[in-house]
Amino acid sequence: MSKALTSGGSDLTNTTSSINVNYFNLYFCGNAYYTVLSSEIGDNPISVGTNVIRDAATGDQRPSHISSLQRLNSIVVQAIKNQLITPTTGTSTVTQITMPLLTDGGLAETFIGQRFDNIIQIINPALATPPKADTLAGAEAVVKPSLRTKTGPTVQGAGAAIALITENLDYFIEEISRYVQVTFPTLVYNDPKCRRDTKLILQKLIYDIESGGRYNSVLTGLSYWQREGTHHIVQMGENVTRTDLFPDGATINFYQRSYISASGYVFEYVGAGTDYGALPQRGVADPVQSKEVVQLDSGKVFFTSTDQNGDFRIGPGLVISQATGVLSGRTFTKSLFANMTPFILAIEAG
């Protein structure tokens, strides 16, 4: 989570509630990538210990949510057994996909049921065995941290189960959306978020089936509780002002970028080959400036350097010419305009 933009940044559809007005989730739009300069734990817009569906403005939504999770568990098991699912009343353009050659997916039924039980009991700790307090501490106690393993014994039928869940992902999402509408007609909820959450839950389930652990399922359940560190203040390297890129609840992936720090390098005649063909006394080839520093696949190289002409560079954005003393480059031009434009406007206005 991050601080709001100057012109917004909250849920674009949320204009009345005080929840999430000053925060937004970051995500990457298409192939756009943003640089996170720093991150620190921020104040929560919702107090720690709050269960977001128990304490919803419209009342406790856990019974309907748990019922939907149980329905999801049921249809997932039917799918991995290659059984035909009886859909909830209503029409849908999405159909179930059966794969008769994958006959051992049903072996993962017990594993999958245990993971759904973990999620449900964490959402409502009173349903755990033995029952836990209906608090964040109680939710955390359902599965102790030492048991939240990221790996475990190989799940029997994992390959077939994963293939069938993946192939039927759209069907599951459509079926759960229809189930909620038909079973709880008076429930006030956000259908796009319901569809999003169904997909996320299934993806986390797939991760656990692949690894044999329960880590992802436990975190799925705990995501319904506001916990310490749920929100972070993030400083970004880019000036992003389009608030429509930051809808509430969007998903973001963070990656630790590969980088190299290189200070004081002397790049003379780089790219001219290994036989010193660019030396003045030979003059066989010219140096290639672009080969001094090469950044691939979003990697970053932070450097200062001097080339054969004595030109000094601070990264790719600022160059000081030794011959003329002129400063140039993208960073310098951007900084110059940022400082000079208001001054020029002020003179013209005067």
pTM comes to 0.65
**pLDDT given at position 248:** 63
pLDDT digits (tens, 9 = 90+) for 261-280: 778 888 877 877 666 666 66
Q: Which two tokens stand for residue 165?
A: 């869940």
pLDDT digits (tens, 9 = 90+) for 285-332: 777 888 888 887 767 788 888 888 888 888 877 888 888 877 777 666
Q: Are strands 2-3 and 23-24 parallel, antiparallel or unpaired?
A: antiparallel
Contacts of 211 (CB under 8 A, 6+ apart): 150, 151, 152
Backbone phi and psi for residue 101, each to the nearest 5 degrees, phi listed first: -70, -20
**CA angle at residue 318 from 314 to 320, to 5 degrees?**
90
**pLDDT given at position 13:** 45
Buried-exposed string 224-249: b where 16+ CB fall within 10 A, e elsewhere: bbbeeebbbebeeeeebeebebbbbe
**Is the CB of residue 160 less than 8 Å from the CB of residue 80?**
yes
pLDDT digits (tens, 9 = 90+) for 85-125: 999 987 778 999 988 888 899 999 999 999 999 999 999 99
Would you call 39 helix, strand, or coil by DSSP? strand
Q: Which two tokens stand for residue 45?
A: 């817009």
